[in-house]
Amino acid sequence: MSNNRLVIVITGLSFGGAERVTSFLCNYFSAAGRDVYLISLTKGERAYPLSEAIHVRELSASHTKGKLGKYRFLIGAIRKEIKEIKPSLVLGMMSYSGSLAAVACKGLGIPFIISERNDPNTSVTFSEMEKEIFYFIHHHFVTRAIFQTESARSYYYQKEDSRGTIIPNPLYLEDMPEPNAGVVASHQIISAGRLNKQKNHALLVQAFSIVHVKHPEYKLTIYGEGEERPALEALIKQLGIDSAVSLPGIEKSMFARLQEAEMFVLSSNYEGMPNALIEAMAMGLPCITTDYSEGRGTVVTHERDGLVVPRKNPEALADAMLSLIEHPDKALALGMHAASIRKVLDSNVICKRWLSTIEETESSYYQRKER
């Protein structure tokens, strides 16, 4: 390894699962002695704390016209930053920013790792043509790739291909209260995530309207912000459940809200490894999730540490919610098993795996280069 400088590229630093993980990793790498440079492809609010030792560079392509113009500008700007910093390795977070960074690094003699944060098998964020471009980049521009699940890894790499590494999302136990001792009979059902089509909160609202008929004492709170807010507010009004459903926006004290809740529901169409769900499980909440990976496996094992229901099926989701409401012993058992995820995803264990993967990639790359 020629130096200890490490560049990490991400789309932005606002609220979100990938952004939170990236911020935490930056702090961990910095504390471990790495000289960390964080390049954000957009300017804006920083949602998560960053050590003062981290060098943050913010780019903006807002002045460019069209997609191609934006891509050309960002690739050039990233490449310029990397040439100036001269890092030992570059890490690109997420498909979009990671792919742009991978192209920017081409020919610079620096190892490049990309980290996919969603499952491309089920994600509809990108077109099929864009996915083909990402596939090409993985096989021609990337030294190594990090995925959250085997399902995501298998989209790009065969099992015997050592370039694909699986590292699940970490849990930050030092920031987390102890898990709930039992089911909190608060009549509060909660969810959290961006208000967008991926998270499909409309499904949750529709399912809750069925639950509300039988159990009007229950309330639903969905934390988060996004472009689907007007549509969700209209749906809530149309279903006549305004008094039972609230959308309070972004919540900075999510663990306190999890402590008050009776159950957590994830209604996503697709996910990588959902932070909101694993945090709810770690708090000992009975959890329900859609089968966001279409049978390829979710964080939850059905009927062991939570319930898994089909995507886009409000009746099935309502039945699962009613099952937990009407069978508190079952809810308690699921929540107790869910809390065991703390041992598996302890951030100290997961972050060490990240750092060792980076160091192994650097070592093998520069050894080959010297031959």
Q: What is the pLDDT of residues 266-296, one digit of tens each?
A: 999 999 899 999 999 999 999 999 999 877 7
How far, CA to CA in Å, does 100 sit from each of 20, 46, 157? 21, 21, 20
Domain 5-170+346-370 has CATH 3.40.50.2000: yes
Going by pLDDT thresholds of 50, 70 and 90, the confidence category of residue 2 is: low
Average pLDDT, the chain: 94
Q: What is the pLDDT of residue 160?
A: 78
Q: What is the pLDDT of residue 15?
A: 86
Burial of 113-151, coded b for 16+ CB within 10 Å and e otherwise, reads bbbbbbbbbbbeebeeeebeebeebbeebbbbbbbbbeb
- CA-CA distance, 223 to 250, in Å (whole number)? 6
Handedness of CA 92, 38, 192, 346 (dihedral sign): positive
Q: Is the pTM of this model over 0.95?
A: no
What's the pLDDT tens digit per position in 75-93? 999 999 999 999 999 999 9
Q: What is the pLDDT of residue 294?
A: 78
- CA-CA distance, 206 to 110, in Å (whole number)? 50
Q: Give the DSSP H/E element, type plus range, for residue 40.
A: strand 35-40
Mean pLDDT for the stretch of residues 95-118 = 96
Is residue 130's pLDDT more than 90?
no
Domain map (residue ranges) of the chain: 5-170+346-370, 173-344
Name the residue with tokens 């093998």: 364
> Are 5-170+346-370 and 173-344 the same fold in CATH?
yes
Give the CATH superfamily of 173-344.
Glycogen Phosphorylase B; (3.40.50.2000)
In the chain, what percentage of residues exceed pLDDT 90? Answer: 83
Q: Give the DSSP H/E element, type plus range, for residue 355.
A: helix 347-370
Q: What is the pLDDT of residue 45?
A: 85
Is residue 173's pLDDT more than 70?
yes
| Residue 196: other Cβ atoms inside 10 A | 17
Mean pLDDT for the stretch of residues 222-228 = 97
Is residue 13's pLDDT more than 90?
yes
